[in-house]
Amino acid sequence: MNIVVYASYTGECQRIAQYLSKKTGYLLCSIEEISPASFENLILVFPVHCQNIPEAVKRFLSSVSVKHLAAIAAYGKMSYGNVLYEIQHRYPHTIVAGAYVPTKHSYLAGPRFEDFEKLDAIAEKMTNPKEVIIPKSFQNPLVNFFPTLRGQIGVQIQRNEDCRHCGICERSCPTHAMRNGKPTRRCIRCLRCVSRCPHGALSFRCRLPMALYLRKKPCEKFILYD
Ligand SMILES: Cc1cc2nc3c(=O)[nH]c(=O)nc-3n(C[C@H](O)[C@H](O)[C@H](O)COP(=O)(O)O)c2cc1C
């Protein structure tokens, strides 16, 4: 089976995956809906979180068997770490294409990703898949110190009086971290709850350390391995 699978919390990776699904004709599926299986060609689109592969994506990569894998890491123009190299070296799948794609950062206002045509080479490569070698890139070793806690300190989720206790935030939370419209300690600050709340009752605020970090000059590098 050929498929495009995405992990997406504020929609950027979902839009990229939708484009590639149309381009290739492959089935489109969210990582939360897919069951472990074997795939011939799989295009995986996921966001970089704290210069790392999100946990849900790691679990997915360990649970499936893939003959040809294209891995697309969307990052918020800060830093993409070493995630594609890690995928190539930690999992038994053959990578036939990869990309680091600069997208809108979940914590920053700004335009959404629109350069979809730049990904056409990935769709093309799936028709003639051959392994590519992903070079090692820089990952700041400090990113592995309590990333969830750093996110919780850096980003505050706020709820206002428009909350109608509909439970959509709880049901949509990928880490089951919402209780009565409030994040618990499991929250990774992915902001899915904020983007899904139909009443606009949830918002977020970056505290000073995160706000200062996000002022770094954006990195616009689009890197393709095909
Ligand atoms: C918890 C969290 C951590 C993130 N860490 C990074 C990072 O280390 N480097 C970066 O460039 N962008 C980072 N981002 C930004 C996302 O990679 C980027 O916004 C991506 O487009 C989000 O995709 P999505 O909308 O499909 O969830 C982070 C976002 C979140 C929510």
Using one digit for the tens of pLDDT, what is the confidence trace for 121-174? Answer: 999 999 999 999 999 999 999 999 999 999 999 999 999 999 999 999 999 999
Using the mean position of ligand 1's atoms as its centre, give its distance from the Cα of residue 15 in Å.
14
Q: Which of 9, 12, 13, 49 to mutate to test the pocket of ligand 1 (most atoms within 8 A of CB)?
A: 49
Residue 111 three-state SS? coil
Q: How high is the pLDDT of residue 159?
A: 96
Q: Which residue has the higher pLDDT, 181 or 51?
A: 51
Q: How high is the pLDDT of residue 36?
A: 85
Of the pLDDT bands very low, low, confident and very high (cuts 50, 70, 90), residue 203 is very high
**CA 23/CA 117 separation, integer angstroms:** 10
**CA 208/CA 106 separation, integer angstroms:** 17
Ligand 1 atom with minimal separation from the 51 CA: 8
**How many residues would you count in the chain?**
226
pLDDT > 90 in the chain, percent:
98
* Domains of the chain, earliest start first: 2-139+217-225 (3.40.50.360), 144-213 (3.30.70.20)
Closest C-alpha residue for ligand 1 atom 28: 49
Using the mean position of ligand 1's atoms as its centre, give its distance from the Cα of residue 122 in Å.
21
Residues at CB less than 6 angstroms from ligand 1: 8-14, 47-51, 74-79, 103-106, 151, 188-191
Using the mean position of ligand 1's atoms as its centre, give its distance from the Cα of residue 75 in Å.
5
Using the mean position of ligand 1's atoms as its centre, give its distance from the Cα of residue 215 in Å.
15
Ligand 1 atom with minimal separation from the 13 CA: 26
Closest C-alpha residue for ligand 1 atom 22: 47
Ligand 1 atom with minimal separation from the 15 CA: 26
Contact of 222 with 102, CB cutoff 8 Å: yes
Ligand 1 atom with minimal separation from the 113 CA: 21
Closest C-alpha residue for ligand 1 atom 2: 49
66 class by beta-carbon count within 10 Å (0-12 exposed, 13-18 middle, 19+ buried): buried
Ligand 1 atom with minimal separation from the 151 CA: 1
Q: How high is the pLDDT of residue 221?
A: 97
CA dihedral 140, 84, 16, 202 (to 10 degrees): -40
